[in-house]
Structure 1
């Protein structure tokens, strides 16, 4: 019995309660034979606390099983329990008895790990090469991120590198109460895993701050004491996204260490592996983010061939690809969903026909997995409403950009351009049913959701022109910058300023001025009308237009269309100094285009568009000027 199988049995025994992260730590390390003192030392906890956690865990198991469970006898007790439960399945072959229950990490020596070439080889090469190194592994929950991370660490050990791993999910909530406490926890854990005595007080100085103290601790102590390079793996990094005050300082700190390797050879000894499940939805300067440098790894789903290979490992005698195709028609190539199905089929607990029929129901093998997602969606009604649109559509739909990216990060949808579809048929069937039931039973909640959406729209909308306001303009530009920097793809920005608008207000009055701006906002919106385009009132009589996936030539065409559409409104402006006949309201426009990357920032695009607008005004107004930042 593996530790993962034992952990799954304990979770089943203790239902509906679930083990805490600390209890899981104590159980797994005790299973491998470590003492309480070793566990406390490795994880950075107080030994008395770890002993108390263990004592409570064994008492809970004793009460449920009806016999005394201790740290020493827990393995034999659980093996006897498993044997008793399988008494009616003695006809299982020896190969079937050795099947791994798909729970958590796929162990290093497991025969059930499926490689996804060329990902493994690329990561091994990245940590093996001299110089700075940073690997970013991103995928939704249970896609195999941590399993890949452990293989990277194992390869590092094989070639003589030192390794350390920190899972942020294992940190107590109290660790996140301040940046200082978090960084001390961080340094202490790395020290212990490298078998070095924590010397925090020798390097920590409140006068220079926590980040500098932490940097000096690594640079002058940890990296100096270790002869070989260190592979430091940070798992479940998305945990700190919940604490903006900490992530806003810690993530740029990681980026600074990566950049320091260009100048200081000592930092080339640090090889970082960052693992996270979701996008970073905190304001983060692109030049300070560790999420747009290094080697990005986005784990794909299993292919049909890989599912067939895994089925063979589970001892399933599928004559052709039809069974695998039936399974994938329901769950796609999601590693956990596929492995769980193959395991249940291999132990003859269920037939494929029954499995597929029950899959999207509460009686199905995926009920716990689906219920976790439903609970998460209930915490975020706006995401539940967006997913409901997707699963209730017969085809693909378009969603508001931020909602689409968040649902993709959770693994619930797939994006193809601006088109959104469910990740698999399982999610479509389950959530179309569950979200409909929620709708029927919570009319009041839906009413509150609508009110919240209106408030959100009001918060994002300019009250006069009904286009986006400056706040949402800044947020949307940052989001598109992050997204397009991973493609890469061009991003264009247009700034437009109404010519001699102060004179217009002085002559015709502010009511006429407001009406003029409203007409212009409508005209501009009609010219930039793709779902991903954004028109905003940038300030006063100035408008901003964000054009994702638009090159310079396309952006200039849109700007010229705006210029002509504004004059086509035929709004008289007798005090305009532009030589037109008749004299009408006109607009000057500046265009800038860039491909977002780590060497530039949204501010550089704004500055370029602003400079182009200034040139249009200097050239007589009522014209378009381009400032391209694309490399020729």
Structure 2
């Protein structure tokens, strides 16, 4: 959380009561851990005045959230307050969707398709549009109960990784596990400047999410190195602070780290080592690791160092025809119910390969009554087709890297599986454009083969 975000959060908690400049100054300095004497020297105000302003602030803040707030526990209380708000919101959403599902069965006319939200981001908890892909949901929810487990969820972009992860996290919360969640796409680029900076950023974030004060300097030792310091910090401080519970460390978009080999070559083996420590150390059994990524790692690692050949692998497959048919009914497309409906969906499956996002997009437009399935398929790769924006985004990404465009040209030029270099294979798979078997690739669906053949001029 930046200082600006922190100040905005305080104003929201205080019901948008505007903060005076001196109040903002005190909050800013308190967030940075400054003493009242240091604040007085920096501002030119007297020490007693600074304390008086601070005292009123902590009193207002305490009354607003119903918990005693002081300068010392400011970080912890705010983190806990925000986590509680998130949990309450998730519970409200869950109850809302459960209630709507019950009402929809009794009063289907109340839920017209013009209220359907455009497919974007993870499918909300409780949504009838979430398609189970057995046995994946049961597998991850059972595995997270095992001490010291490591779960690896892999799939290209927009295949449903975050939706599955959110349901696993909800299940873990129901077991009273603590949750630490990272999305590495949110990390600033300078975080990856060095391993030491990255691991300190990592440990600080874990501390905040566990409502613990970061005290890295008490455990960090340059003589023994960053990795060992990080291990000691977890072992002697973070995990020791968790009583009779477990912590789920969910690492989303881990492929972002692949792009920084100087970090990946140390961080990824470290995760594996922690997982292996759990086999012989009860302290490490409290930690449950979940690693989510778009593709296999291309950073060179020794076989006994990689976290990607241990633990439970979970690969998200495309939707089957039956799942596509069930989803169509979730969108209110009654014509898809029986065997005849399934036959009508076969050409759609053949065109988009059961890709969850592409399937949802098709059913969204069909549910609006703006076109028929036949028209959708006829215009599928044209500028007037429903996938035009999605396809343009992929085309722009390829055009930014001519070598990658050339590689994609090789893929679509033949119906045969061709071999690619590791980095090109990684990038194309993470974009969802190819299916890989090792480094051997083919276009992931007919839509991409058709569109890029037209664009590249084959």
Regarding TM over 0.5, the answer is yes
Q: Assess, with a 3 A threshold, how the Cα gap between structure 1 residues 385 and 34 changes in structure 2: closer, same or farther.
A: farther
1:260-409 correspondence runs (5 A): 260-319=277-336, 320-393=341-414, 395-400=415-420, 402=422, 403-404=424-425, 407-409=428-430
Residue from 144, 157, 170 that aligns with 1:141: 157
* Distance in 2 of aligned mates of 1:374 and 1:231: 37
Residue of structure 1 aligned with 2:442, choices 411, 416, 421: 421
Cα drift, residue 353 of structure 1: 2.7
Secondary structure in 1 matching 2:134:
coil
- CA separation of 1:179 and 1:224: change in aligned 2, threshold 3 A: same
Conserved? CA contact 2:420–2:440, under 8 Å: no
Q: Which runs of 5+ in 2 are unaligned?
A: 17-26, 29-108
Matched with 1:94 is 111
Q: Following the alignment from structure 2 to structure 1, what is the Cα–Cα distance between the partners of residues 439 and 220?
A: 49
Note closer, same or farther for the CA distance 1:400–1:246 as it changes in structure 2 (3 Å cut): closer
Alignment partners' CA distance in 2, 1:245 and 1:273: 22
Q: Would the alpha carbon gap of residues 93 and 221 (structure 1) be closer, same or farther in structure 2, given more than 3 Å must change?
A: same
TM-score by length of 2: 0.72
Matched, 1:232 2:246: no
- 1:154 corresponds in structure 2 to 170
- Alpha-carbon offset, residue 342 of structure 1: 0.7
The verdict on how the C-alpha distance between 1:35 and 1:197 changes in structure 2, with shifts beyond 3 A counting, is farther
Counterpart-to-counterpart distance in 2, 1:36 and 1:278 = 44
> Corresponding residue for 2:19?
none
Quote the offset at 1:289 in angstroms: 1.1
Where 1:115 maps in the other structure, the secondary structure is coil
Deviation at 1:93, TM superposition (A): 5.8
The match for 1:175 is 191
1-structure distance, mates of 2:150, 2:116: 35
Query: How far has the Cα of 1:268 moved from its partner?
Result: 0.7
Distance 1:276 1:265 in 2: 28
In structure 2, what is the equivalent of residue 209 of structure 1? Answer: 225
After superposition, the CA RMSD in angstroms is 2.8
Once residues 286 and 376 of structure 2 are traced to their aligned partners in structure 1, the CA distance between those partners, rounded to angstroms, is: 50
Preserved CA contact (<8 Å) 2:412 2:442: yes
Answer whether contact 1:278 1:410 (CA < 8 A) is retained.
Answer: no
Post-superposition offset of 1:201:
2.2
Query: 2:132 is paired with a residue of what secondary structure?
Result: coil
Judge conservation of contact 2:157–2:294 (CA < 8 Å) in 1: yes
Instruction: Name the SS for the 1:231 alignment partner.
Output: strand
Secondary structure in 2 matching 1:265: coil
C-alpha distance after superposition, 1:109-157 (max 9, x if no partner): 222110100011111111112x320001111000011111111111111
| 1:372-401 residue CA offsets vs partner (Å, 9 max, x unmatched) | 3223323443432232233233x3243346
Q: 1: CA distance between counterparts of 2:438 and 2:200?
A: 43
Over 3 Å counting, the alpha-carbon distance change for 1:169 and 1:350 in structure 2 is: same
The 1:36/1:304 distance shift into structure 2, 3 A limit, reads farther
Q: Kindly tell me: are residues 274 and 396 of structure 1, through their superposed partners in 2, closer, same or farther at Cα, counting changes over 3 Å? A: same
- Unaligned 5+ runs, structure 1: 1-20, 38-46, 49-91, 438-632
Deviation at 1:245, TM superposition (A): 0.8
Deviation at 1:278, TM superposition (A): 2.1
Give distance in 1, aligned partners of 2:271 and 2:439: 32
Quote the residue 1:411 is aligned against.
Answer: 432
Looking at both structures, which has the greater relative contact order when contacts are Cα pairs under 8 Å and sequence separation is at least 6? 2
Aligned mate of 2:132, from 82, 107, 115: 115
Q: Is the 8 A contact 1:180 1:210 kept in 2?
A: yes
The number of aligned residues is: 357
Q: Could you list the per-position Cα deviations for residues 336-377 of structure 1 after superposition, in whole angstroms to 9, with x for gaps in the alignment?
A: 000011111112233323322222123322223222322332
d(CA) in 2 for partners of 1:311, 1:353? 15
Give the SS at the match of 1:296.
strand
Aligned partners of 1:396 and 1:419 also within 8 Å:
no
Residues in 2 aligned to 1:195 and 1:237: alpha-carbon distance in whole angstroms: 24
In 2, Cα distance between the equivalents of 1:405 and 1:375?
A: 18
Residue-by-residue CA offset, 1:65-122 (whole Å, 9 max, x unaligned): xxxxxxxxxxxxxxxxxxxxxxxxxxx9633244232111112222211010001111
Seen in structure 2, the aligned counterparts of structure 1 residues 135 and 370 have a Cα distance that, compared at 3 Å, is same
Q: Would the alpha carbon gap of residues 134 and 362 (structure 1) be closer, same or farther in structure 2, given more than 3 Å must change?
A: same
In structure 2, the CA distance between the partners of 1:324 and 1:172, relative to structure 1 (3 Å rule), is same
1:416 Cα shift? 6.4
TM-score by length of 1: 0.53
**1:386 and 1:399 in contact (8 A); partners too:** no
Q: For the Cα contact (< 8 Å) 1:251–1:290, is it kept in 2?
A: yes
Q: Deviations over 1:206-232 (max 9, x none)?
A: 222221121111111111111211111
